């Protein structure tokens, strides 16, 4: 996975891409006139150039496509959420789902992806008592870039359990009606998509994941391909998985006898998570008096909104 620091060689590659794509860089710099984004520069000076990082979001995207993903994501957030909420997400974290089991408190939090910030702009992390045990990172990107007919999609670019937290992951699965943490976070992501009116989730396959390497191919295949098949996503010829929102479920009559009750419980839990996330964003939009997307983005240059 990408670490906190870029090597000198990597910085040179990024600088050359920036110099070769100055028009892309100028669009991003104009976006930084918004204080809520400019305020991220002191703690993350590479923020405006990371679109040029090696394999930003997914392997085999062009620099122009990466720029479009970066721009679309932040223009979308500026238009949908109030600055107060954005500052909390960008500089701290916000709890969007919580459940208690005995002395343990499980939370799904949303926050800026750090330090693996080229693998998705935002992250959902499942915590137990403040300790992260699983994470999914994603961005809001134009559908055309991932061969989707939808105008925009959520692109999942990282799925990972935290190192050394295997026992906690097992315990969390048991507590959450036998729903594993990765599936719990996908359910939360569905609620996010529903709140934003996004009708499709797309995910990288193993070979398109930013940190993929041949010597760890089997590990990546299990973490990405096998998982997204279980979700019901369909792998396209471009090695992106596609799944509609709401995520389809097998008709209950097709579930094997003896498994129906457990299946119903698992589905009820995932729906509880999705609904909680949906309500969270709806409640905060109303309470904050946030302007509509059209109102808040009307003064952005047209090219920024494509």
Quick check: is 305 in a domain?
no
pLDDT band at 300 (very low <50, low <70, confident <90, very high): low
Instruction: Check: CB of residue 288 under 8 Å from CB of residue 85.
Output: yes
Q: What is the pLDDT of residue 7?
A: 67
Quick check: is 116 in a domain?
yes
pLDDT band at 302 (very low <50, low <70, confident <90, very high): very low
Question: What mean pLDDT do residues 164-170 have?
Answer: 95
* Arithmetic mean of pLDDT over the chain: 88
Q: Global pTM?
A: 0.88
Quick check: is 304 in a domain?
no
Boundaries of domain holding 69: 8-290
Quick check: is 221 in a domain?
yes
More reliable by pLDDT, 47 or 16? 47
- Give, in order, the Cα–Cα distances in Å from 161 to each of 89, 144, 156, 251: 21, 30, 15, 30
- Per-residue pLDDT tens over the stretch 231-263: 999 999 999 999 999 999 878 877 787 778 888
Question: What mean pLDDT do residues 68-78 have?
Answer: 95
CA distance 219 to 142: 29
Quick check: is 295 in a domain?
no
Quick check: is 146 in a domain?
yes
Other CB atoms within 10 A of residue 1 CB: 11
Quick check: is 212 in a domain?
yes
φ, ψ of residue 271 in degrees (nearest 5): -70, -35
pLDDT of residue 296 exceeding 50, the answer is: no
- Per-residue pLDDT tens over the stretch 183-222: 999 999 999 999 999 999 999 999 999 999 999 999 999 9
Q: What is the pLDDT of residue 116?
A: 73
Domain count, the chain: 1
Q: What is the pLDDT of residue 301?
A: 46
Quick check: is 300 in a domain?
no
């Amino acid at each position: 996975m990408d670490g906190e620091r870029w090597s000198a060689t990597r910085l040179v590659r990024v600088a050359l891409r920036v110099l070769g794509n100055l028009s892309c860089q100028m669009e991003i710099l104009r976006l930084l006139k918004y204080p809520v984004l400019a305020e991220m520069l002191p703690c993350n000076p590479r923020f405006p150039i990371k679109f040029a990082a090696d394999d930003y979001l997914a392997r085999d995207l062009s620099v122009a496509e990466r720029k479009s993903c970066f721009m679309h994501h932040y223009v979308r957030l500026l238009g949908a959420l109030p600055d107060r909420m954005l500052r909390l997400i960008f500089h701290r974290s916000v709890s969007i789902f919580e459940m208690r089991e005995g002395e343990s408190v499980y939370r799904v939090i949303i926050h800026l992806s750090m330090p693996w910030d080229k693998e998705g702009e935002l992250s959902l992390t499942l915590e137990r008592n403040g300790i992260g045990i699983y994470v999914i990172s994603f961005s809001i990107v134009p559908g055309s870039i991932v061969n989707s007919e939808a105008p925009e999609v959520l692109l999942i670019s990282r799925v990972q359990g935290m190192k050394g937290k295997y026992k906690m992951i097992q315990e969390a699965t048991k507590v959450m009606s036998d729903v594993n943490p990765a599936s719990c976070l996908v359910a939360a992501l569905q609620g996010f998509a529903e709140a934003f009116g996004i009708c499709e989730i797309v995910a990288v396959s193993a070979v398109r994941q930013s940190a993929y390497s041949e010597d760890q191919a089997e590990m990546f295949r299990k973490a990405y391909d096998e998982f997204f098949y279980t979700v019901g996503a369909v792998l396209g010829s471009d090695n992106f998985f596609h799944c509609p929102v709401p995520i389809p479920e097998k008709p209950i009559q097709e579930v094997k006898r003896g498994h129906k009750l457990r299946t119903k419980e698992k589905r009820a839990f995932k729906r509880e998570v999705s609904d909680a996330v949906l309500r969270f964003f709806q409640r905060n939009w109303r309470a904050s008096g946030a302007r509509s997307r059209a109102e808040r983005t009307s003064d952005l240059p047209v090219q920024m909104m494509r």
